[in-house]
Amino acid sequence: MTDTTQATRSVIIERDLPHPPEKIWRALTQDHLIEEWLMKNDFKPVAGHSFNLRADWGAVDCQVMAVEPNKTLSYTWSAYGLESVVTWTLTPTSTGTHLRMEQSGFRADQQQAYQGAQGGWPRFVAALEQVLARIE
């Protein structure tokens, strides 16, 4: 591979949802609702707030970067050597909301950066691969 260590890639997922932005915002920002679809957490919609997302395979360290109610939410996402940023964008449409999730900052050289190599992350990868298997 040449000249890819500085290149970053993103995961972008967009969905049109038949719900108003205010309702989706609650699901994205209230800790008990986040737990239902993402992971256990101590999230607060306050810029600068540090929080964890926790699952049986380990934890993700996060910090809230930007909060604009019903419009945008971003937080850092650090896990197993991966330093990334997750950004949610909500745009009202005639039928509900266009929801966009972007996780950015995947650098090629982070493939090697396994800081948390103490057993948790192989389970993390296994958990992700189970998800992958169900989808494909």
Partner 1 sequence: MDFHPDALFKTLSDPTRRAIFERLARDGELTVHALTGPSGVSQPAVSKHLGMLTRAGLVRNRREGRETHYSATPQGLAPLIDWVKLYGAFWHDRLDRLESLLSRMDR
Question: What residues does 64 pair with on adjacent strands?
Answer: 75
Tell me if 109 contacts partner 1 by CB under 8 A: no
Tell me if 36 contacts partner 1 by CB under 8 A: yes
Tell me if 132 contacts partner 1 by CB under 8 A: yes
By CB under 8 A, which span of 44-52, 67-75, 117-125 interacts with partner 1? 117-125
Tell me if 67 contacts partner 1 by CB under 8 A: no
Tell me if 106 contacts partner 1 by CB under 8 A: yes
Tell me if 7 contacts partner 1 by CB under 8 A: no
By CB under 8 A, which span of 31-39, 41-49, 67-75 interacts with partner 1? 31-39
The tokens describing 51, both together, are 């929080």
- Give the residue, chosen from 9, 66, 68, 92, that forms a contact with partner 1 under the rule CB under 8 A: 9
Strands (E), the chain: 8-17, 40-41, 50-55, 58-68, 72-79, 82-93, 96-107
Whether residue 53 contacts residue 62, with contact meaning beta carbons closer than 8 Å, is answered with: yes
CA distances from 78 to 13, 75, 90, 95, 105 (A): 19, 10, 23, 35, 11
Half-sphere exposure of 81 (CA within 13 A, CB side): 17
Q: How far is the CB of 11 from partner 1 (least distance, A)?
A: 5
By CB under 8 A, which span of 29-37, 42-50, 65-73 interacts with partner 1? 29-37
Tell me if 68 contacts partner 1 by CB under 8 A: no
